[in-house]
Amino acid sequence: MKDLQKLVTMLKTLEDQMTVCMHCGLCQSVCPLFAQTLNEADVARGKICLLGGLSSEMLKDVQGVKERLDNCLMCGSCAANCPSGVSALEIFLKARVILTAYQGLSRTRRMILRGALAHPRLFDRILEIGARSQSFFVSPASELLGTSCSRIMSPFIGKRHFMPLADVPFHRQQGSLDTPAGESGLKAAFYYGCLTDKIYPDIGNAVLKVLRYHGVGVWMPHEQACCGIPALSSGDLPSFKELVRANLKAFGDRDFDALVTPCATCTSTIREFWPMFAGEFSEDEAAAIKILAAKTTDISAFLVDSGLVSDKSVEPAVNSATITYHDPCHLKKSLKISAQPRRLLQNIPSCRFVEMNEADSCCGSGGSFNLLHYETSAAIGMRKRENIVASGAATVATSCPACMMQMTDMLSRRGDTVAVRHVIEAYAAALS
């Protein structure tokens, strides 16, 4: 009964937010999904109309509504361009939570989210076992890109060219770190996120090298957990709350100037989605969430905004290799961070920076969207791949490991010879 009342209250709040939409349809022109499907139900306006009848229909076709809602990259293009300021992502996430609370999680999602992800150390161990056994199931695809493909027919992997799990995850390589502030007088907490930890440990090592180079002290607890976005995107509020609590425990009582991450998705989750759901926590927890969220930023933004990296470009050396940049949606559209990563790339003397066309168009990854709708995800990704190749750059850099995986898949499947790197890896490699 208590839960039902809570659901009704949440629905009411959602309805209030949805009335802001004036159905102008401007979100159609910026939705990467609509550009592929031309289906009005895929765009923000269509989803909001669908949700409009939610409480009165309570709930005739929960599964149908859920499927429509899941058909979304959560890229935030609609919200970033909405003249009425509709918080589309907040509406979609809260609606997913309501629908899941009403209907329950599927057995598979329950097993993955509640059985594994919500228990960070168990999740670590499962993936470490996966790393040791993966060679039986995969074979190399591209040496330059470091991709693999499946040896056997697998409905989960399909045609994908993917990055294998790291032999030794980042948290095992580094453990916990606590170093004092150096020359800069600054101390940063380092939240590395699941993909850096388990697939791209070199990104984590690059962040540490750069912070050390600029005299920034580091607090990096190895007890940190997933930021919770896979759980929240699935509407699984209990798992999301467990993960937020684990991170509050790991980072909460320390003093630091900023919490930095190399993952655009983690950055926007901690900065925007944690406070969005702060009302679901105790007063003390909600206060800690707001403090941590306000301190959270992308690693490039931290370096440039705190004056550690010059805001002027350096002249590239003759014959330097070209590098281009892809804007992750969660960084540019959600947090308006786009100049700082470019500034880092323009401070590498051995690189000549070139812009690609549609640098801020979605790569099509969308987290679980890629798993559920691979063909559509790949069609959007191939347009990104065409723009990368057309730029003539030898390397494409970005600020999100999830975008790296998507671009790597597209480039590898087409046999392209364009390297994919995180901005911080490219910048760290140029430091002595």
Tell me which residues in 54-93 interact with ligand SF4 (CB under 6 A). Answer: 72-78, 82, 84, 86, 88
Compute the distance between CA of residue 201 and CA of residue 113 in angstroms, rounded to an integer: 23
Buried b (16+ CB within 10 A) or exposed e, 43-79: bbbbbbebbeebeeeebeebeebbebbbbbbbbbbbb
Nearer to ligand SF4, 24 or 314 (CB): 24
Q: Which stretch binds ligand SF4 (CB under 6 A): 24-32, 124-132, 250-258, 311-319?
A: 24-32
> What are the angstrom distances between the C-alpha of 60 and each of 97, 102, 220, 276, 375?
17, 12, 47, 28, 29
Task: Kindly report the number of other CB atoms within 10 A of residue 321's CB atom.
Answer: 15
Interface with ligand SF4 (CB under 6 A), residue total 24
In whole angstroms, the minimum distance from the beta carbon of 328 to ligand SF4 comes to 13
Nearer to ligand SF4, 88 or 208 (CB): 88
Contacts 24+ apart (CB under 8 A), 20-25: 20/84, 20/85, 20/86, 20/87, 21/45, 21/48, 21/82, 21/84, 21/86, 22/84, 23/49, 24/83, 24/84
Whether residue 154 contacts residue 199, with contact meaning beta carbons closer than 8 Å, is answered with: no
User: Could you tell me the sign of the dihedral formed by the alpha carbons of 56, 58, 64, 69, in that order?
Assistant: positive
Element (DSSP H or E) covering residue 261 = strand 258-261
Question: With binding defined as CB under 6 A, does residue 95 bind ligand SF4?
Answer: no
In whole angstroms, the minimum distance from the beta carbon of 355 to ligand SF4 comes to 22
Nearer to ligand SF4, 50 or 126 (CB): 50
Taking CB under 6 A as the criterion, the residue among 7, 43, 216, 378 binding ligand SF4 is 43
> Alpha carbon 357 to chain centroid distance?
22
In whole angstroms, the minimum distance from the beta carbon of 43 to ligand SF4 comes to 5
Question: With binding defined as CB under 6 A, does residue 260 bind ligand SF4?
Answer: no
Compute the distance between CA of residue 211 and CA of residue 143 in angstroms, rounded to an integer: 30
Tell me which residues in 171-210 interact with ligand SF4 (CB under 6 A). Answer: none
In whole angstroms, the minimum distance from the beta carbon of 271 to ligand SF4 comes to 17
259: left (phi over 0), alpha (psi -120 to 50) or beta: beta
Taking CB under 6 A as the criterion, the residue among 10, 11, 14, 21 binding ligand SF4 is 21
In whole angstroms, the minimum distance from the beta carbon of 139 to ligand SF4 comes to 33
Compute the distance between CA of residue 345 and CA of residue 347 in angstroms, rounded to an integer: 5
Strands 186-190 and 258-261: parallel
Query: Backbone phi, then psi, for 33, in 5-degree steps?
Result: -75, -45
In whole angstroms, the minimum distance from the beta carbon of 142 to ligand SF4 comes to 28
Taking CB under 6 A as the criterion, the residue among 23, 151, 159, 290 binding ligand SF4 is 23
Tell me which residues in 283-302 interact with ligand SF4 (CB under 6 A). Answer: none
Question: With binding defined as CB under 6 A, does residue 264 bind ligand SF4?
Answer: no
Taking CB under 6 A as the criterion, the residue among 9, 12, 19, 22 binding ligand SF4 is 22
In whole angstroms, the minimum distance from the beta carbon of 37 to ligand SF4 comes to 10
Nearer to ligand SF4, 27 or 420 (CB): 27
Nearer to ligand SF4, 78 or 400 (CB): 78
Compute the distance between CA of residue 137 and CA of residue 91 in angstroms, rounded to an integer: 40
Helices in 296-361 by DSSP H: which ranges? Answer: 299-305, 329-335, 339-345
In whole angstroms, the minimum distance from the beta carbon of 366 to ligand SF4 comes to 7
Taking CB under 6 A as the criterion, the residue among 4, 8, 24, 168 binding ligand SF4 is 24
In whole angstroms, the minimum distance from the beta carbon of 87 to ligand SF4 comes to 9
Q: What residues line the site for ligand SF4 (CB under 6 A)?
A: 21-27, 31-33, 43-45, 72-78, 82, 84, 86, 88
